[in-house]
Amino acid sequence: MAEATRASAEDHREVWDVLVIGAGAAGLWAARVAAERGLSVVLLEKTPRCGTKILASGGSRCNLTTTLGPAEAARLFGTKAERFLRPAFQALPPAALREHFHRAGVPTVEAPLEKIFPASQSAKDVRDALEREARTAGVRIALRTPVVDLQPGDEGEPWRIEAWPAGASAGETWHARNVFLCAGGASVPKSGTTGDAYTWLQALGLTVTTPVPALVPLRSPEAWVHELTGIAVEHVLAKMIAPSGKRLQERLRPVLFTHHGLSGPGAMDLSHWVARARVGEGEEGTYCLALDLAPDQSQEDLRSALIAAQGSSERPNLAGALPVVLPKRLLAAVIAQAGESSALLTRGGLQHLSKSGRHRLVEALKDLRVAVVDTLGMDHAEVTAGGLALRHVNPRTMEVNGHPGLYVFGELLDLHGPIGGLNFQAAWATAELAGQAVEA
Ligand SMILES: Cc1cc2nc3c(=O)[nH]c(=O)nc-3n(C[C@H](O)[C@H](O)[C@H](O)COP(=O)(O)OP(=O)(O)OC[C@H]3O[C@@H](n4cnc5c(N)ncnc54)[C@H](O)[C@@H]3O)c2cc1C
């Protein structure tokens, strides 16, 4: 490790090569990479432990990355972020990340929906490995040490970082030639991420895209939706529709009906649109989640199946006539939304279905509209959408343009991906670039 310029240990006069703010996924990774390159690294963490969010992730199993290749994975972040993330995902592709964890004693396994988990199914193993590696590389970790401000030094002088350790009667100042600012977003504030860094970035004259909850369940005012609480639909194409009717984004992922509205990856992956509209950054009016309950069948397929059933001597009911299996209560709701009678669920009931009724029924199966008016908010959001505008950051190094020695990466950036290990992948890959790029 490079020799730190030591003045007084008590008042932290030493000038560190790198001071890392936040011992989350990104901070632990970048600190270790920089320390392995011989730099002196100190990591300040607000909470009493490293990797608080890692421990809570994936239902405490930690979906740590994806089975997708780097290009496919980056594409899921949307056009602007895809371009930004390309160098990071090339530097640390999902497969290389898995190999790293294998070498660190955390073998991984594949799961449905392109997910990767530790074979032990324990998020703690992931967190422990990252912390162990960082400490072994020589990173000094100060827990219960919230940073309260940071200031660039005058020409050639180090950055000044103000922290106020828990229980201390006064703050303390740290000095570093480089700052890794990776304090996360504002989701689940009780886990330590209260969006502290946004104000520091704004004070430096940088643009922060309004942080809003993402990967969060949706609220619907519709009583028929609440009545379906507990019903999960595994194979459904969910589409977010703007008030103007514009189709914004779609995901083929499970959807869960809840007493608030809709949850499950299909709904949560698209939730940021509603959150943005709630802060006045979308269209005025009501957004809808349109559910295609038969994504593998065309309208024509469904119509033909119904016509065939209506002509059949076996007189099947609607459930028996359809080429998809749907929970009975959901089917009843679809029938009601189509304005038809629940008699369709009884034997022979299909005989009374008119041509226009058939049309409406097929429409409801392929395009079941659920009004969504809000999200459950930051307390329930897996990530934050918004953050430091990407145009300020060099995508090859994560250094902030015009602010030498300041590196921003992880969830604090204005990017987020869908559920499926993609957000950890982004945190680790952007951290890798910062750790490799930083100079003493
Ligand atoms: C319930 C839940 C489940 C999730 N599951 C998954 C999953 O399975 N797969 C996946 O890919 N993603 C998942 N995520 C998202 C994932 O946790 C984040 O994308 C990831 O943690 C971002 O890493 P980060 O290092 O940028 O931020 P964080 O991990 O949030 O780390 C930031 C750190 O900075 C610290 N900090 C904040 N302010 C200060 C300050 N002022 N001073 C000092 N320290 C500070 C925080 O305490 C925190 O430790 C989940 C999120 C949640 C909430």
Please say if the pLDDT value at position 5 is more than 50: no
Span 375-434, pLDDT tens digits = 999 999 999 999 999 999 999 999 999 999 999 999 999 999 999 999 999 999 999 999
Is the CB of residue 180 below 6 angstroms from any atom belonging to ligand 1? no
pLDDT: which is higher, 5 or 334: 334
Same domain (yes/no): 45, 136: yes
Please say if the pLDDT value at position 2 is more than 90: no
Domain enclosing residue 391, as ranges: 15-212+383-437
Q: Is residue 6 part of a domain?
A: no
Q: Is residue 7 part of a domain?
A: no
Determine which residue's CA is closest to atom 38 belonging to ligand 1.
Answer: 183
> Which of 376, 391, 413 marks a domain boundary?
376
pLDDT band at 79; cut points 50, 70, 90 = very high
Same domain (yes/no): 189, 251: no
Same domain (yes/no): 205, 223: no
Same domain (yes/no): 208, 222: no
Same domain (yes/no): 344, 402: no
Span 254-313, pLDDT tens digits = 999 999 999 999 999 999 999 999 999 999 999 999 999 999 999 999 999 999 999 988
Say how many Å lie between the CA of residue 361 and the centre of ligand 1. 44
Question: Pick from 297, 303, 311: which is nearest to 359 by CA?
Answer: 303
CATH at residue 171:
3.50.50.60
Share the mean pLDDT of the chain: 95
Which atom in ligand 1 lies closest to the alpha carbon of residue 27?
25
Tell me how crowded residue 5 is: count the other CB atoms within 10 A of its CB: 14
pLDDT band at 12; cut points 50, 70, 90 = confident
Is the CB of residue 387 below 6 angstroms from any atom belonging to ligand 1? no
Q: Is residue 339 part of a domain?
A: yes
Span 159-214, pLDDT tens digits = 999 999 999 999 999 999 999 999 999 999 999 999 999 999 999 999 999 999 99
Q: Is residue 4 part of a domain?
A: no
Same domain (yes/no): 71, 187: yes
Same domain (yes/no): 349, 410: no
> Which of 358, 376, 394 marks a domain boundary?
376
Is the CB of residue 23 below 6 angstroms from any atom belonging to ligand 1? yes
Is the whole-model pTM more than 0.85? yes
Q: Is residue 3 part of a domain?
A: no
Same domain (yes/no): 102, 199: yes
Same domain (yes/no): 159, 284: no
Is the CB of residue 424 below 6 angstroms from any atom belonging to ligand 1? yes
Same domain (yes/no): 117, 73: yes
Same domain (yes/no): 200, 54: yes
pLDDT for 394 = 98
Span 359-382, pLDDT tens digits = 999 999 999 999 999 999 999 999
Which atom in ligand 1 lies closest to the alpha carbon of residue 192?
47
Is the CB of residue 17 below 6 angstroms from any atom belonging to ligand 1? no
How many domains in the chain? 2
Mutate to test the pocket of ligand 1, among 57, 180, 432 (most ligand atoms within 8 A of CB): 57
Q: Is residue 240 part of a domain?
A: yes
pLDDT for 9 = 37
pLDDT band at 127; cut points 50, 70, 90 = very high
Same domain (yes/no): 97, 176: yes
